[in-house]
Amino acid sequence: MHTKSLVYAWLMLAAILLFAAIQAPRPTLYLIGDSTVKNSSDKGEGGMWGWGHFIDAHFDTTRLKIENHAIGGRSSRTFLTEGRWDRILTKLKPGDFVMMQFGHNDSGAINDTSRARGSLKGIGDETETIDNMLTKKHEIVHTYGWYLRKYVADAQAKGAIPLVVSLVPRNVWTAGKVVRASDSYGKWASEVAKKQGAYFLDLNELVAKKYDAMGDSAKLQTTYFVKDHTHTNAAGARVNAAAVIKALQQQKNCPLNQYVVTKLPR
């Protein structure tokens, strides 16, 4: 009788723990960035894919929800000014994760009638006041680093965990190697992460090394890219997604690692 009571008690405890696990909301990993993270409507238009489409294959999605909010053509500045970040903030909760990758579009024009998406270079507090010719609004434009700091600080204030990712490299070569962003956006992303106490994933360097191994621009283009030197095909996007996970696993203390699957599908 005593044994039966003990077994019953253990079964009840297991049931309670299982119920609690089921009821507890899954944390969400939010991805924000540009077309190299999510291209167009994320359906492979023109053969182009962002790495965010393939990232779920590396995580246990029964325990982690993934939302890819990246959108083509956006910079660290316009993702904010268009209200996209504010919409995420309304849902962001303690224990969630925010993975951000910007830079490709931040070097564009600060004020014009077509895109007006550029940010000031660097990570300082410099500003430029403009009457935006595209939006017809008065705007204070900040540095790339300022926008990243805002994303990081906002996420931390919500109890979420920010991860700053350096931008994936383009198929541009010099002296037999892919050009890095180690003296510009990659460097600035790293500096912001360090100053703000965020995790930094050096995707730029990891992917550049992978690209270097292809030997030359022509071979790299036909293997991982589509019609331009920035947007990847499915194979290239998968390579980039795997590099994100490799960079993540180098951050031994990052809680997001607990959701990474150990055996990946072929």
Say which of 60, 125, 131, 228 is annotated catalytic: 228
Paired strand residues for 129? 140
Q: Would you state the pLDDT for residue 25?
A: 85
Question: In the chain, what are the domains?
Answer: 28-259 (3.40.50.1110)
What pLDDT score does 144 carry?
Answer: 98
Indicate if 231 belongs to the active site. Answer: yes
Round to whole Å and give the CA distance between 246 and 241: 9
Our answer to whether residue 138 is catalytic in this structure is: no
Q: Give, in order, the Cα–Cα distances in Å from 105 to each of 29, 85, 102, 115.
A: 23, 17, 7, 10
3-state secondary structure of 77: coil
At residue 24, the pLDDT reads 66
Please list the pLDDT of the chain residue by residue as tens digits (266 residues): 466 666 666 676 655 555 545 556 899 999 999 999 999 999 999 999 999 999 999 999 999 999 999 999 999 999 999 999 999 999 999 999 999 999 999 999 999 999 999 999 999 999 999 999 999 999 999 999 999 999 999 999 999 999 999 999 999 999 999 999 999 999 999 999 999 999 999 999 999 999 999 999 999 999 999 999 999 999 999 999 999 999 999 999 999 999 999 654 44
- Find the catalytic residue in 53, 58, 104, 231: 231
> Collapsing DSSP states into helix, strand and coil, what is residue 75?
coil
Q: Which of 35, 75, 76, 119 is catalytic?
A: 35
Query: What is the structure's pLDDT at 137?
Result: 96
This prediction has a pTM of 0.89
The answer to whether residue 69 is catalytic is no
